[in-house]
Amino acid sequence: MNADPAPQPAPTQAQLDAVLQAALYLLGARQDQMLTIEEWTDLARAVAACQERKTADYLTDHDLEDIAERYAFEWDEATDGALPTLDDE
């Protein structure tokens, strides 16, 4: 038996604007046949904000490892979720 999900509060205009902007980036990237991790993360952030979840919930383990290892952009663990701890091998 499947329970219906709890009703979500209506997204704010700022959240909807962020989703729209991220979607436009995604469409543009697809047209150019490329997508950066920043664009992918922006989309994940926008969707997560509307769903009251963490950005990390919408990214793959590989994406999170890449962010932790290679990319120096703003990441707030309180809103975005934890990044993996990378062990030096």
| pTM attached to this predicted model | 0.67
How is the chain split into domains, by residue range?
13-73
pLDDT in tens, the chain (89 residues): 566 777 778 888 999 998 888 888 887 877 776 778 888 888 889 888 888 899 999 998 988 998 998 877 789 999 999 998 876 54
Contact criterion met (CB below 8 Å) for 7 and 13:
no
